[in-house]
C-alpha cells in the first residue's frame, strides 16, 4: 500500500468514525443539520452519476423523492407496514414506478428530456393532490403511534434516523465509487467523453442509461422516504418541490464539480455554509446562489474541485485502474 493510499484510507476512516459517534457529541440541532447534509449529499451524488457520466440532465428527480415519501406514509398508514421496513420497500416500489415513466422520458433527448422529467414530476404532484385519503393538497401527518414504534424514546429515534441517514450516504458514495471502478464505469466514462465513439466500440448506451436511471430513482425514493419520515408530515408541494430536490441539488454538483465523487462532497459543504450566511436575505438568497454557480462555471466548468486540482492532481476516490508493471 502506497503512502497516498494509506492517507486516503486514514482520512476517510477518521471522518466516518467521527460521524458514527455523532449522537455522542452532537446536540439535537446539530444532528438534524447533519441528517439534512447526508440526504442532500446522497441526492447530489446520484444526480451527478446521471448527469456527470451518462449525460442525463434530469430536472425531475423530485418525482422520486415525493414518491418515496408518499409510499412510506401509505404503507405505514394503510397496510400496517413498520416504518423501518417501509424504507427499502419505498425505494423498491419507486424504482418499479420509475420504469414506465422512464419509457416515456427516454423518448426525448437533450433539453427535451430535462423538460420532460420536470413535467412528469408535476403530473405526480397534481395527481397526489387529488387523493383525499392522503390529505389532498393539504397533505397528511404520520400517526404518533407509528413513529414511537421505531424506538423506545425520542432520543433513540433521532439517533436511529441519524445512523440510517449516515449509512445511506456512505452506501451511496461507496456504490458510486464501485460502479465507476467497474466495467460499467468504464462504459460510462466512454459515454461521457463521446457517445458516438462509445457506441462504435460496442457500448450499449440505451440499456446503460435506462438501468442507471431506474437504480438512481429507487435510491432517491429511499432517500425521500427517510426525509419525510423524519419530517413526520408530507404535502404535494413539499414532496415534489423542484426547488428543494432538484435546483439545490444541481447547484451543489455544479459548484462542487460535475463528474467527480469529490465535487458533490465539497459542493454540499459550501452550500450549507452559504445557506447559514444567506438564509436571512429572503429572495436574494436564491439570486446569490445562482450568481455563485454562474461565476464558478465561467471560471472553471469543472467546479471548485476542478480549480483546486488544476495544478496538482488530488484524488480522494480514485476510479481508474493502472496496469501493473511487468
In the prediction, which pLDDT does 7 show? 75
In the prediction, which pLDDT does 282 show? 74
Q: What is the DSSP string of 198-237?
A: HHHTT--HHHHHHHHHHHHHHHHHHHHHHHHHHH-EE-HH
Going by pLDDT thresholds of 50, 70 and 90, the confidence category of residue 298 is confident
β-pair partners for 140: 234
- pLDDT of 162 > 70? The answer is yes
The count of other CB atoms within 10 Å of the CB of residue 135 is 17
The count of other CB atoms within 10 Å of the CB of residue 154 is 11
pLDDT in tens, 175-197: 999 998 888 888 887 777 777 77
Looking at the whole model, is its pTM more than 0.75? yes
Going by pLDDT thresholds of 50, 70 and 90, the confidence category of residue 198 is confident
Higher-confidence residue: 93 or 321? Answer: 93
β-pair partners for 233: 141
Q: Which of 241, 239, 244 is nearest to 135 (CA)?
A: 239
At residue 140, the 3 state secondary structure works out as strand
Higher-confidence residue: 232 or 1? Answer: 232
Reduced 3-state DSSP string for 64-116: HHHHHHHHHHHHHHHCCCCHHHHHHHHHHHHHHHHHHHHHHHCCCCCHHHHHH
Share of the chain above pLDDT 70, in %: 95
- pLDDT of 322 > 70? The answer is no
In the prediction, which pLDDT does 324 show? 47
DSSP 132: G
pLDDT in tens, 16-69: 999 999 999 999 999 999 999 999 999 999 999 999 888 889 999 999 999 999
Going by pLDDT thresholds of 50, 70 and 90, the confidence category of residue 326 is very low
Share of the chain above pLDDT 90, in %: 59
CA distances from 299 to 114, 192, 210, 308 (A): 25, 21, 33, 12
pLDDT in tens, 107-138: 998 889 999 999 999 999 999 999 999 999 99
Amino acid at each position: 500500500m502506497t503512502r497516498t493510499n494509506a492517507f486516503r484510507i486514514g482520512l476517510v476512516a477518521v471522518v466516518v468514525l467521527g460521524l458514527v459517534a455523532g449522537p455522542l457529541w452532537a446536540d439535537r440541532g446539530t444532528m438534524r443539520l447533519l441528517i439534512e447534509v447526508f440526504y442532500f449529499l446522497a441526492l447530489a451524488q446520484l444526480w451527478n452519476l446521471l448527469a456527470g457520466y451518462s449525460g442525463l440532465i434530469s430536472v425531475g428527480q423530485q418525482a422520486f423523492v415525493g414518491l418515496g415519501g408518499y409510499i412510506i406514509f401509505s404503507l405505514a398508514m394503510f397496510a400496517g407496514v413498520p416504518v423501518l421496513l417501509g424504507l427499502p420497500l419505498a425505494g423498491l416500489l419507486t424504482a418499479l414506478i420509475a420504469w414506465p415513466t422512464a419509457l416515456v422520458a427516454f423518448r426525448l433527448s437533450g433539453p427535451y428530456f430535462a423538460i420532460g422529467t420536470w413535467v412528469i414530476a408535476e403530473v405526480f404532484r397534481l395527481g397526489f393532490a387529488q387523493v383525499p385519503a392522503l390529505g389532498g393538497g393539504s397533505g397528511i401527518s404520520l400517526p404518533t403511534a407509528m413513529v414511537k414504534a421505531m424506538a423506545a424514546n425520542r432520543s433513540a429515534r433521532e439517533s436511529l434516523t441519524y445512523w440510517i441517514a449516515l449509512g445511506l450516504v456512505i452506501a451511496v458514495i461507496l456504490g458510486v465509487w464501485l460502479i465507476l471502478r467497474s466495467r460499467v464505469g468504464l462504459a460510462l466514462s466512454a459515454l461521457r467523453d463521446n457517445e458516438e465513439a462509445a457506441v462504435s466500440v460496442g457500448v450499449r448506451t440505451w440499456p446503460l442509461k435506462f438501468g442507471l436511471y431506474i437504480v438512481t430513482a429507487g435510491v432517491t425514493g429511499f432517500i425521500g422516504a427517510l426525509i419525510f419520515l423524519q419530517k413526520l408530515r408530507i404535502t404535494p408541494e413539499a414532496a415534489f418541490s423542484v426547488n428543494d430536490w432538484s435546483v439545490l441539488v444541481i447547484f451543489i454538483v455544479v459548484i462542487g464539480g460535475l463528474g467527480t465523487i469529490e465535487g458533490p462532497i465539497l459542493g454540499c459543504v459550501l452550500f450549507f455554509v452559504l445557506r447559514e450566511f444567506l438564509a436571512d436575505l429572503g429572495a436574494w438568497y436564491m439570486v446569490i446562489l445562482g450568481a455563485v454557480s454562474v461565476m464558478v462555471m465561467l471560471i472553471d466548468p469543472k467546479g471548485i474541485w476542478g480549480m483546486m486540482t488544476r495544478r496538482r492532481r488530488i484524488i480522494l476516490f480514485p476510479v481508474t485502474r493502472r496496469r501493473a508493471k511487468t
